[in-house]
Amino acid sequence: MASSAQSAAAKDQDVVWVGRLASLKRLLAEIKDYMTEYLHDPFDATLVPDLVPIAKRDSGQEEELKKIVILFLSCAVKCERRETFVKRILQMKKEAQAAIMQEIEQVSSLFAAVFNFFVAHCFSTFVLQIQQRIQDRYRHF
């Protein structure tokens, strides 16, 4: 009898974490859509958290939760109502403000690095294409 009760409890626990996982997936999809459609900000795949540890409430979930918070912060400081969110941040304790600002700076520098890489890649591809066209044109002469 005890093993059937344990089995039922384990099944209930599985249902709970699977439900949390589904909710987290919907939340992440909404954040991604908001960032790309409304903020016109590229969604950085390195910030995509592993949702399973969060849903299961396993060890290691803190780093993954931090990624979600960073995504929320990124949305908050880039949206139309950013002044409201920045004012709220400035009303927090200095330690909290410093931690939030550090995360915002990390996200901003990460996005800047990704953007700079993308621009450099596009520019070098463009230059290579131009060089190829010039060579092709003068090959016929």
- pLDDT for 22-50, tens place per residue? 999 999 999 999 988 988 887 777 778 89
The string of DSSP letters for 70-85 reads: HHHHHHHHHSTTHHHH
CA distance 61 to 91: 28
Residue 39: per-residue pLDDT: 86
CA 61 to chain centre: 15
- What is the structure's pLDDT at 26? 92
The domains located in the chain, with CATH, are 2-106 (1.10.418.10)
A 10 A CB-CB count for 139 gives 7
Residues 112-123: tens digit of each pLDDT: 555 555 555 555
| pLDDT at residue 15, rounded to an integer | 74
How big, in percent rounded to 5, are the helix, strand and coil portions of the chain?
85, 0, 15
